[in-house]
Amino acid sequence: MSLKFGIEFVPKEAYWKISAYAILAENNGFSNLWITDHFGNRNVYVTLAAAAIFTNKITFGTGVTNPWMINPVITAQAIASLDELAPGRVVLGIGAGDKTTLEAVGMEMGKPLAAVKETIDIFRDLMSGESVAYQGTVFKTAGAKFNFKPKNKIPVYVGAQGPKMLEMAGKVGDGVLINASHPSDIEYAVKMANEGMKQAGKTASDVDIAAYTSFSVNEDMKKAIKAATPVVAFIVAGSPPPVLEKHGINLAKADEIRAALKVGDFGKALGAVTPEMINAFSICGTPDMCIEKIAELKKIGISQFVVGSPVGPNVKAAIDLIGAKIIPQFNKD
């Protein structure tokens, strides 16, 4: 089976720049475009709307939104409206939400598993065009209904890391977005998602399992690593000790990075990033090095490989390089 390629963009860039990247990605053989959702960046739906208008065939969606910042009915409304801009090309990506970001606006995560599941239920019910009376533990609706009729069945992808969320993603999702880059993390996540799929009587072709990686490619390995280093520093700073220990990462070094980032000393933070950290939390290097690592993930069972930030030291050049040298390697079988 061939492997699909997706690409993630963070809308810290304006809509026109991401639209230009989206066009380039589409022309280079990427099938999926994912836009992240954090309130500090540009709005995810404005960014997606622009990308929808400027592209022709790439499938696109939130990568990922959450149940807390936007009520599920508005999420459904936004996705249904996007589907009118680009019929049949839209997906919903939903996850528990980023704890730090939520706390910054005084929101508590509450029951993440229930909230994500209930958002998916309400989303699907509303998309059917019927009046929805839903009694969840987190969300309730009393006769919510759209005044327009959504036309297409829209796939739902669940962003998941924890064992229960992964299992639920496999059980109820049309896709799973696994935010990890290392084979051991992907292997565990695929196993948990498969568990959920089994419970629902699903087979591999029913759920698109995506590795949502931190990625950097360049013909010069050192340049690729240099571009990945800031992203890895932030991942290390945000990772709990068990995750760091699992990858043999020195906790004192991780503390050093966290402390330096907190006071804005980026030089010190980036200087403390080790090769072990780069290896654990990114896929980076020359095209050949990346091909080898992607092939390993494919063997584990992923069906989509998502090229995430930073993509490469030069985003445009990296997209062209992926299209010329990497994607064709996975279109052969």
Residue 44 buriedness (CB in 10 A; 0-12 / 13-18 / 19+) = buried
User: Does 114 help bind ligand F42 (rule: CB under 6 A)?
Assistant: yes
Tell me if 139 contacts ligand F42 by CB under 6 A: no
CA gap 89, 57 in Å, rounded: 7
Residue 298, helix vs strand vs coil: helix
159 binds ligand F42 (CB under 6 A): yes
238 binds ligand F42 (CB under 6 A): no
- Find the shortest distance in angstroms from Cβ 102 to ligand F42: 8
User: How many residues belong to the site for ligand F42 (CB under 6 A)?
Assistant: 26
| Alpha-helix runs per DSSP H in the chain | 15-27, 44-54, 72-85, 99-104, 112-127, 163-172, 183-199, 221-238, 241-246, 251-262, 266-271, 275-281, 287-300, 315-321
Q: Quick check: 213 binds ligand F42 (CB under 6 A)?
A: no
CA distance readout (Å), 97 to 47, 127, 143, 150, 195 = 19, 23, 27, 26, 23
Q: Are strands 140-144 and 132-135 parallel, antiparallel or unpaired?
A: antiparallel
Q: Which is nearer to ligand F42, 162 or 271 (CB)?
A: 162
Residue whose CB is less far from ligand F42, 260 or 315: 315
Q: State the nearest-atom distance from the C-beta of 129 to ligand F42, in Å.
A: 28
223 is a contact residue toward ligand F42 (CB under 6 A): no
Residue 6 three-state SS: strand
Q: Which of 19, 36, 194, 216 binds ligand F42 (CB under 6 A)?
A: 36
| Residue of closest CB approach to ligand F42 | 162
- Closest distance of CB 140 from ligand F42, Å: 16
- 217 in helix, strand or coil? strand
231 near ligand F42 (CB under 6 A): no
Asked whether the bond before 64 is cis by omega within 30 degrees of 0, the reply is: yes
Asked if 175 is part of the footprint of ligand F42 (rule: CB under 6 A), the reply reads: no
Q: Report if residue 98 touches ligand F42, rule: CB under 6 A.
A: yes
Closest approach, Cβ 145 to ligand F42, in A, equals 27
Among residues 11, 97, 173, 313, the one that binds ligand F42 under rule CB under 6 A? 97
Nearer to ligand F42, 75 or 218 (CB): 75
CA distance 191 to 74: 33
| DSSP label at residue 295 | H
Chain residues binding ligand F42 by CB under 6 A are 36-38, 63-64, 66, 95-98, 101, 111-114, 159-165, 177-179, 212
